[in-house]
Amino acid sequence: EVQLVESGGGLVQRGGSLRLSCAASGFMLSSYTMSWVRRAPGKGLEWVSSSGASGTTTFYADSVKGRFTISRDNSKNMVYLQMNSLSAEDTAVYYCAKRDGGTYFDRWGQGTLVTVSS
């Protein structure tokens, strides 16, 4: 069974950093592009970042470019999101999502909450 379990969320001060982790199981991580998607309180879903299967290609939303870094360790079945220079606008539940076929997300984790205090 495919499972994605996020961790690493919490309360951080404005300007601080946080590293999110996503533990993947039930499928061969090295064969799939993985992404992070967030949902801020009272708002809709927002795509944040994607990492190609090998980790050599990465993509970012303009809102996080230069501050967030996605990475992965396929040998450990882990995907990460390093978040720096956090602001209140980054407060959200962050979901790890598996992409299938390239154009959609077929599996999602339960999410981890990041709260940035001012």
Partner 1 sequence: QSALTQPPSVSGSPGQSVTISCTGTSSDVGTYDRVSWYRQPPGTAPKLLIFEVNNRASGVPDRFSGSKSGNTASLTISGLQAEDEADYYCSFYTNINTFLFGGGTKVTVL
Q: Which two tokens stand for residue 41?
A: 């309180």
Give the distance, in angstroms, between the CA of residue 23 and the centroid of all CA atoms in the same chain. Answer: 11
Stretch that binds partner 1, among 12-20, 73-81, 83-91, 92-100 (CB under 8 A): 92-100
Contact with partner 1 (CB under 8 A) among 29, 34, 35, 79:
35
CA dihedral 85, 92, 21, 101 (to 10 degrees): -110
**From CA 64, how far away is CA 83, in angstroms rounded?**
9
Asked if 110 is part of the footprint of partner 1 (rule: CB under 8 A), the reply reads: yes
Among 101, 114, 115, 118, binds partner 1 (CB under 8 A): 101
Q: What is the DSSP string of 42-109?
A: TS-EEEEEEE-TTSS-EEE-TTTTTTEEEEEETTTTEEEEEE-S--GGG-EEEEEEEEETTTEEEEE-
Kindly state the smallest distance separating residue 50's Cβ from partner 1, in Å: 7
Query: Closest CB to partner 1 among 16 and 69?
Result: 69
Smallest separation (angstroms) from partner 1 to the CB of 94: 11
Residue from 31, 75, 104, 118 touching partner 1 (CB under 8 A): that is 104
The residues that touch partner 1, with contacts defined as CB under 8 A, are 35, 37, 39, 44-47, 50, 59, 61, 95, 97, 100-111
